[in-house]
């Protein structure tokens, strides 16, 4: 629950002007930096949560990841400090706009879908940011439309990659043990669902970004996380990859091959980097488009799945799906 009321001053400097959001890992406020006269966002962790080593380390890693990615399309960080009460807070840029999910839903509410070229140009800075992060041995682990923010202006690319709270430093001790699931269901890579979290590397971000592209073009994630869990896990870890061409006849035929590789079940079969994935997608975006369909596209979950496939569902059935 939010602790600071509007008008409260944090650390004798930041005056709270509004609540932006809150969750299990902290509260985000809009604030004014009274020293500089600028508007900022504050992500605050209570003293109670900051006393928990896991929460504390995650907050530190998020701040360090944002600092390491200065100059990219990651959210810009200005400061990281303690509150007088013993809590922690990150001072970062205040963003004006909406997340990618809201952006896409607005288009879809008018019967439209985003064009491939537009999508490639829009999310190019996000791909570049992930590639930079991977070069620093940082894996985001929660790439999804809700963590991509589309700005009202074109400052530094016009988009931001949010929430490095689940970011994993491949050179550091893991905070997530095998068998534990981190991320958002519709965008989690198969190897994570199979309980191989310790083996996860940058290719889980390749998968997640591929799923984001699929959702943007198709109107829904490649697999339906609202399905019964057994069916959902079979689809993600063993089922066929859905076709975008069947859903959108205006897309080049080559897009389905891209989907197969971006969302490949085995990491070794995926694009080895975000840069290679994006290079391939950019090339496809330059291909001639097909006939534009006039009937509303269906959703990708109508793919038939062999429910007799034997998978490790007995183990995964007891896994609790994280909230989107």
Annotated catalytic sites, by residue? 142
Both structure tokens of 28: 């985000």
Judge whether 274 and 134 are in contact, CB under 8 Å.
yes
Rounded distance between C-alpha atoms, residue 104 and residue 31, angstroms: 28
Q: If we measure between CA atoms, which residue out of 65, 66, 59, 61 comes closest to residue 44?
A: 59
Strand-pairing partners, residue 91, are 42, 79
Helix (H, G, I), strand (E, B) or coil at 19: strand
Q: Is 44 exposed, middle or buried (0-12, 13-18, 19+ CB in 10 A)?
A: buried
What does the alpha-carbon distance between residue 245 and residue 289 come to, in Å, rounded to a whole number?
11
Interatomic CA distance for residues 94 and 89, integer angstroms: 14
- Give me the phi and psi of 109, to 5 degrees please: -65, -20
Phi-psi region of 97 (alpha: psi -120 to 50; beta: other; left: phi over 0): left
Q: Give the helix/strand (H/E) hosting 183.
A: none
Cβ proximity of 170 and 138 under 8 Å: yes
Q: Per the structure block, which two tokens stand in for 96?
A: 């004006």
Q: Which tokens go with 218?
A: 């198709």
């Amino acid at each position: 629950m939010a602790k600071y009321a509007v008008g409260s001053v944090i650390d004798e400097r930041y005056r709270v002007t509004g609540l932006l959001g809150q969750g299990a890992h902290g509260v985000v406020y809009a604030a004014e930096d009274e020293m500089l006269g600028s508007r900022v966002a504050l992500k605050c962790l209570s003293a109670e949560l900051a006393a928990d080593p896991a929460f504390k380390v995650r907050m530190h890693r998020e701040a360090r990841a944002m600092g390491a990615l200065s100059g990219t399309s990651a959210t810009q960080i200005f400061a990281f400090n303690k509150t007088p009460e013993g809590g922690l807070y990150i001072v970062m840029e205040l963003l004006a706009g909406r997340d990618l999910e809201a952006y896409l839903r607005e288009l879809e509410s008018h019967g439209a879908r985003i064009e491939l070229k537009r999508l490639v140009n829009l999310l190019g800075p996000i791909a570049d940011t992930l590639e930079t992060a991977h070069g620093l041995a940082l894996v985001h682990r929660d790439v999804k439309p809700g963590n991509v923010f589309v700005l009202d202006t074109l400052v530094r690319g016009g988009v931001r990659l949010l929430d490095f709270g689940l970011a994993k430093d491949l050179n550091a001790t893991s905070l997530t043990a095998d068998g534990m699931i981190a991320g958002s269901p519709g965008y989690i890579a198969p190897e994570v669902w199979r309980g191989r979290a310790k083996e996860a590397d940058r290719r889980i971000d390749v998968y997640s970004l591929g799923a984001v592209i699929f959702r943007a073009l198709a109107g829904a994630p490649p697999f339906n996380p609202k399905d019964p869990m057994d069916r959902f896990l079979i689809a993600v870890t063993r089922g066929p990859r859905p076709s975008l061409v069947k859903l959108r006849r205006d897309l080049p035929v080559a897009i389905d091959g891209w989907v197969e590789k971006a969302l490949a079940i085995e990491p070794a079969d995926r694009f080895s980097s975000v840069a290679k994935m994006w290079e391939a997608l950019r090339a496809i975006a330059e291909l001639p488009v097909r006939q534009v369909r006039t009937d509303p596209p269906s959703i990708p979950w109508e793919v038939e799945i062999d429910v007799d496939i034997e998978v490790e569902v007995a183990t995964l059935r007891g896994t609790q799906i994280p909230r989107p």
